[in-house]
Amino acid sequence: MASFFISLDKDVYSAGETVSGEVLLNISAGISGFSGISLQLSGFESVKTVKTSPLPEPLPSNHIQNHSKTDNK
């Protein structure tokens, strides 16, 4: 039985950047007549858009205290 693992050098790549890493093969049994390995790799790109919006700034602490004092009257 054989298994493989692909390990990339980085988690995220930019468009057009060369992807690099290692392909690790684990072959646990002898294969007769074996003379080499041929690999063909293909991949795809995807884009993820993240919408962000700024958080509102908190009111100053003195504004909150003054406001609560006028409510208690």
pLDDT in 10s for each residue of the chain, 73 residues: 678 899 999 988 887 888 899 999 888 777 777 777 888 888 777 777 888 888 888 877 776 555 555 555 5
Q: For tokens 């909150």, name the residue.
A: 64
Q: What local confidence, expressed as pLDDT, does residue 63 receive?
A: 61
The β-bridge partners of 22 are 7
- Is pTM beyond 0.85? Reply is no
Q: For tokens 């958080």, name the residue.
A: 55
Q: What local confidence, expressed as pLDDT, does residue 31 receive?
A: 74
Q: How far from each other are the two terminal CA atoms of the chain, in whole angstroms?
A: 81
Do 8 and 21 form a contact (C-beta atoms < 8 A)? Answer: yes
Q: What local confidence, expressed as pLDDT, does residue 71 receive?
A: 53
Parse the chain into domains and list their residue ranges: 1-29
Q: What local confidence, expressed as pLDDT, does residue 69 receive?
A: 52
Distance CA 65, CA 53 (A): 28
